[in-house]
Structure 1
Amino acid sequence: MRYDLKRARELAIRVCVAAGASEAMAISLAEATVAAECSGRRSVGFAHLPDYLEGLLHGRINGTAEPAIFFPAPALIQVDAQGGIAQLGFDRAFEELRIRASTYGVTVFSLQNSYTAGELGYYVRRLAHKGLVALAATNGSALMAAGQSSEAVYGTNPLAFAAPVDNRPPLVIDQASSATAFVHIREAAKRGEMIPEGWAIDENGQTTIDSREAIKGALLAFGGARGANIALMVEILAAGTTGANWSLDAPSFEEGSQSPGAGLFIVALNPELLAPDFSARMAAQIERLSSKGIYIPGGSFTEDEVEINLPSSLVATLEGYGLH
């Protein structure tokens, strides 16, 4: 089923409110959901929205939460999501983050006590559109094993990076520390499909290509120990420095009635204070790399050109929440 962006936002807002979200929370989540679709990250777009709706219905997300914002230092912004969603906390602090990063050259945004952050690239992309270079890290419920352990100890623990580029969309890199995202394993399990070797282990700690066995086990880090090291760095930034739950302590984002209490860490830098022609240099370098066949992540869409295609089964699922 085809939706223009206005209708897609309206659908997301409507079902979020029906599931118990405040109007402000519904708008924040709808904007992030549509942005994920537009950026090509559909697994964390509308396909991920039912996770939020279930979270709202079962208490894993406090639908009426209003984030609390603190400024422990001029270049530090601290947010307590109060059991709500990271997107609303980011929205509430966005203008201060932009102003302070532009003024002081660098500002850190720290958020705790939230549900999963959704598309991590969403946060840094928005900052890059304001001329800032940004790096983000987030954690969540333990889903990934590391080292010799067969126990899940980290979330998928992604990193995202974005930089502004003259006359084109920002460069955006958004990737998990795990070999694949959990949602890909879950979707494969629903369809009864096999998965590539190296993505996951079963509940006995043995590598598996059976997605249904992988659901019972744990994801694996990409690149072995190197990916696990990145996951640990993300864990320290996203949980350690924010005061959020370590992944080992985070309640499930799929079951129960408690918030995962996840963290989100973002550092935003004003590159023009260091290199006044930064965005122009980025454009020239990207053109040079592209001429050599290098893929530059980020996308080239404009909102006027975007139409969102949703499976009719997913639309029916989402519309079902409007009956609650």
Structure 2
Amino acid sequence: MAEEVSLRRPEAEELAMRACVAAGASQASARSLVDATLSAALFGPATLGFPHFVDYLNAFAEGRIKGDSQPSLQRSFPAFMVSDADGGIAQLGFDLAFADLVETTRTLGIAVFTQTNSYTAGELGYYVRRLAGEGLIGLAATNANAMVVPKPGGAAVYSTNPMAFGFPLGDQTLPLVIDQASSATAFVNIVQAAEQGQPIPDGWAVDENGEPTQDATKALTGALLPFGGRKGGNVALFVEMLSAGLSGGPWSLDTPDFRSGNASPAVGLSIIAIMPGLGDERIRRAHAQTIRLHDHGVFIPGVTGIPFPPSPTAELKIPRTVFESISRFASLQAERN
């Protein structure tokens, strides 16, 4: 197991903020990104917390993210909001529209937020988790550069094309949050396996020749596979249409690599927010059903295995290599001061 560094939340937050600013982010972008990173570290997949945060730092420094972006928001229809992230991070555009999105949903019962021209969306569960915190149901979809082949030997035409769904369960529990890629695994899991020299399961990826591989390093030069074969490929296409199609952002085939070069991926993000009826009856009913399912041995994503409420003294565990990468950026800010 990779060596880890334990930090209290305030320490991790302060380090991440310094690293963001040193990498070229404005205070507003840094705040939005660090909030999303901490949420992923506490409640989401660990790989989409601080390990993915390093991708953002590199992207700020190398020009794939505009550090001083000024997202703009327009309303095409009463319940349809369109954001241009101005080459910045997806989280900032979402944060600036969040209050309006919540108010519109509560007024009209449903609202759509769609955004283009941003860096990759990060942990997609973050967006629906935020909505669930306001008592709203959320559905989110996004894309990135092509890295998924519909079948072995085919061309990479989709990104991992994740989708997330959130349902509030009341104040005494975390919300139900389903966040999963349409590929057999998330790309960050391949990166982590390659860095640690670990094999990957059969069915996750193919090498550069289109042959199935369990070598993570070969998978990085090849492509990922969809989960469930053709049905997973259909889900990837559904997400592609909901994110790139609805937002007007680039298709995955046309999206620049989010880990190299100096061009913004400019990807699409679409979020649908829904009121779960009047009052709390539907929320209480959903909570009761998750308890019932849990008693049948069902894993409830977003809830099972996650302490609630979070302990104020709990420490965040960060892989040492990730901690060192973040610290190198943060030290640049210290030198400037």
Q: TM-score, normalised by structure 1?
A: 0.97
Structure 2, unmatched stretches of 5+, are 333-337
2:152, 2:225 within 8 Å by CA — same for their partners in 1? Answer: no
1:133, 1:164 within 8 Å by CA — same for their partners in 2? Answer: yes
2:15, 2:330 within 8 Å by CA — same for their partners in 1? Answer: no
The answer as to 2:181 corresponding to 1:176 is yes
Q: 2:239 aligns with which of 234, 240, 246?
A: 234
CA distance in 2, matches of 1:188, 1:231: 23
Report what 1:317 is aligned to. Answer: 325
The answer as to 2:226 corresponding to 1:214 is no
Q: 1:157 aligns with which of 145, 148, 161?
A: 161
CA distance in 1, matches of 2:287, 2:309: 18
Report what 2:335 is aligned to. Answer: none
1:150, 1:218 within 8 Å by CA — same for their partners in 2? Answer: no
User: What SS class does the counterpart of residue 219 from structure 2 fall into?
Assistant: helix
CA distance in 1, matches of 2:310, 2:21: 25
Per-residue CA deviations over 1:139-172 (Å, capped at 9, x if unaligned) read 0011111146522111100110000112211111
Per-residue CA deviations over 1:74-121 (Å, capped at 9, x if unaligned) read 101110001100000110000000000011000000010111111000
CA distance in 1, matches of 2:9, 2:310: 8
Report what 1:12 is aligned to. Answer: 16
Using the TM superposition, name which of 142-151 and 97-106 deviates more: 142-151
1:252, 1:260 within 8 Å by CA — same for their partners in 2? Answer: yes
Give the partner amino acid of 1:71.
Answer: R
Give the partner amino acid of 1:156.
Answer: T
Give the partner amino acid of 2:238.
Answer: M
The answer as to 2:273 corresponding to 1:304 is no
Q: 1:267 aligns with which of 243, 263, 272?
A: 272
Once the two structures are TM-superposed, the CA of residue 323 in structure 1 deviates from its matched residue by 4.0
Q: TM-score, normalised by structure 2?
A: 0.93
Once the two structures are TM-superposed, the CA of residue 73 in structure 1 deviates from its matched residue by 1.1
Per-residue CA deviations over 1:299-324 (Å, capped at 9, x if unaligned) read 34324344211233322211111344
User: What SS class does the counterpart of residue 57 from structure 1 fall into?
Assistant: helix
CA distance in 2, matches of 1:190, 1:312: 12
Q: 2:292 aligns with which of 282, 288, 293?
A: 288
User: What SS class does the counterpart of residue 247 from structure 2 fall into?
Assistant: coil
User: What SS class does the counterpart of residue 47 from structure 1 fall into?
Assistant: helix
2:44, 2:302 within 8 Å by CA — same for their partners in 1? Answer: no
Q: 1:199 aligns with which of 204, 207, 224?
A: 204
CA distance in 1, matches of 2:323, 2:93: 27
Once the two structures are TM-superposed, the CA of residue 40 in structure 1 deviates from its matched residue by 4.0
Structure 1, unmatched stretches of 5+, are none
CA distance in 2, matches of 1:226, 1:141: 21
Report what 1:21 is aligned to. Answer: 25
Using the TM superposition, name which of 208-217 and 118-127 deviates more: 208-217
User: What SS class does the counterpart of residue 50 from structure 2 fall into?
Assistant: coil
Q: 2:45 aligns with which of 41, 46, 50?
A: 41
Name the count of aligned residue pairs.
Answer: 323
Distance 1:135-1:40 versus aligned 2 partners, 3 A rule = closer
Give the partner amino acid of 1:211.
Answer: A
User: What SS class does the counterpart of residue 113 from structure 2 fall into?
Assistant: strand
CA distance in 1, matches of 2:318, 2:40: 13
Per-residue CA deviations over 1:117-144 (Å, capped at 9, x if unaligned) read 1100000011011110110000001111
Give the partner amino acid of 1:192.
Answer: G
Using the TM superposition, name which of 4-13 and 262-271 deviates more: 4-13
The percent identity for this pair of structures is 49
CA distance in 2, matches of 1:181, 1:210: 15
CA distance in 1, matches of 2:192, 2:329: 20
CA distance in 2, matches of 1:303, 1:16: 25
Give the partner amino acid of 1:293.
Answer: G
Per-residue CA deviations over 1:270-300 (Å, capped at 9, x if unaligned) read 0124x85111101111111111111111134
1:150, 1:204 within 8 Å by CA — same for their partners in 2? Answer: no
Distance 1:222-1:317 versus aligned 2 partners, 3 A rule = same
Q: CA RMSD in A?
A: 1.3
Segments ≥4 residues shifted beyond 6 Å: none
Report what 1:30 is aligned to. Answer: 34
Give the partner amino acid of 1:97.
Answer: L
Once the two structures are TM-superposed, the CA of residue 187 in structure 1 deviates from its matched residue by 1.4
